[in-house]
């Protein structure tokens, strides 16, 4: 007899809606978003400024809470979890790359990359961080602080930090937004190489058409709705 396997998307948003109140007016940032992303996909979220791209990414990660709707990560309803449980889930499952790098200024490059492993209780944090920093081309910058690094080098540290835990899902919010075009192209090449090597699912917010076209699927947001 053949076993029946249930294949779930790694990310699923159902009727996801986000309202914010501005003075006496309620603004709808996202309205009735339905989205499924399967393991191994690379999905870009595109749209003009203010279309809700970053808000959607934050909701998918459980960094913000919706006004209505649900988000499932690996079949688990993340908004049934409390904040500590969501943080534990993020630490176990997700990696993040932000436009503004989000490195801790008081830590060196290697210490920034070690941090997620140390928080998870890994006993080989330094060795793994050194290996990944070598992979992103920063062997000579291990002991440098963020202020001593160029923008491209800071983003390489951020990428190493994001991938150091071998996350199932990587969320990237305009990862080249603060970089020149040449450096940005190098960073994107590096992200897609690591994504293939680790078999990570990628969801990336970008305004860059060339970057978006490298993903397996594009999701267009218009006025807080997915354009079909």
In this predicted structure, the answer to whether residue 6 has a pLDDT above a threshold of 70 is: no
In this predicted structure, the answer to whether residue 4 has a pLDDT above a threshold of 60 is: no
Instruction: Break the chain into its structural domains and give their ranges.
Output: 40-52+82-221
Q: What pLDDT does residue 164 have?
A: 92
Return d(Cα 189, Cα 177) in angstroms, integer. 15
pLDDT digits (tens, 9 = 90+) for 189-210: 999 999 999 999 999 999 888 8
In this predicted structure, the answer to whether residue 2 has a pLDDT above a threshold of 60 is: no
In this predicted structure, the answer to whether residue 1 has a pLDDT above a threshold of 70 is: no
The per-residue pLDDT of the chain, averaged, comes to 91
pLDDT digits (tens, 9 = 90+) for 15-72: 999 998 888 888 899 999 999 999 999 999 998 888 899 999 999 999 999 999 999 9
Mean pLDDT, rounded, for 65-81: 94
**Which position has the token pair 């680790």?**
198
Edge-to-edge strand list for the sheet holding 11-22 = 25-37, 11-22, 68-73, 76-77
**Reported confidence tier of residue 97, pLDDT bands at 50, 70, 90:** very high
- Has domain 40-52+82-221 been given CATH number 3.40.50.300? yes
Beta bridge partners of 190: none
- Greater confidence, 219 or 121? 219
Largest CA distance in the chain: 62
What letters, b where the CB count within 10 A reaches 16 and e where it falls short, cover 119-157?
A: eeebeebbebbbebbebbebeebbebbbeebeebbbbbb
Beta bridge partners of 171: 96, 203
């Amino acid at each position: 007899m053949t076993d029946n396997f249930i294949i779930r998307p790694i990310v699923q948003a159902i009727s996801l809606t986000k309202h914010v109140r501005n003075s006496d007016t309620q603004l709808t940032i996202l309205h009735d978003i339905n989205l499924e992303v399967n393991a191994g996909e690379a999905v870009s979220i595109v749209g003009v400024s203010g279309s809700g791209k970053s808000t959607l990414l934050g909701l998918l990660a459980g960094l913000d809470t919706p006004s209505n709707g649900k988000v499932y990560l690996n079949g688990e309803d993340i908004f049934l979890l409390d904040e500590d449980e969501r943080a534990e889930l993020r630490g176990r499952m997700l990696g993040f790359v932000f436009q503004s790098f989000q490195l801790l200024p008081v830590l060196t490059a290697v210490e920034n990359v070690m941090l997620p492993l140390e928080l998870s209780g890994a006993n080989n944090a330094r060795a793994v961080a050194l290996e990944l920093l070598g992979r992103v081309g920063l062997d000579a910058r291990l002991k440098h602080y963020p202020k001593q690094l160029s923008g491209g080098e800071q983003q390489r540290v951020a990428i190493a930090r994001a991938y150091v835990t071998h996350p199932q899902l990587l969320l990237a919010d305009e990862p080249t937004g603060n970089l020149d075009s040449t450096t940005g192209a190098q960073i994107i090449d590096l992200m897609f190489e690591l994504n293939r090597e680790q078999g990570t699912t990628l969801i990336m917010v970008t305004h860059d058409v060339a970057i978006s076209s490298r993903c397996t699927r594009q999701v267009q947001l218009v006025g807080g709705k997915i354009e079909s």
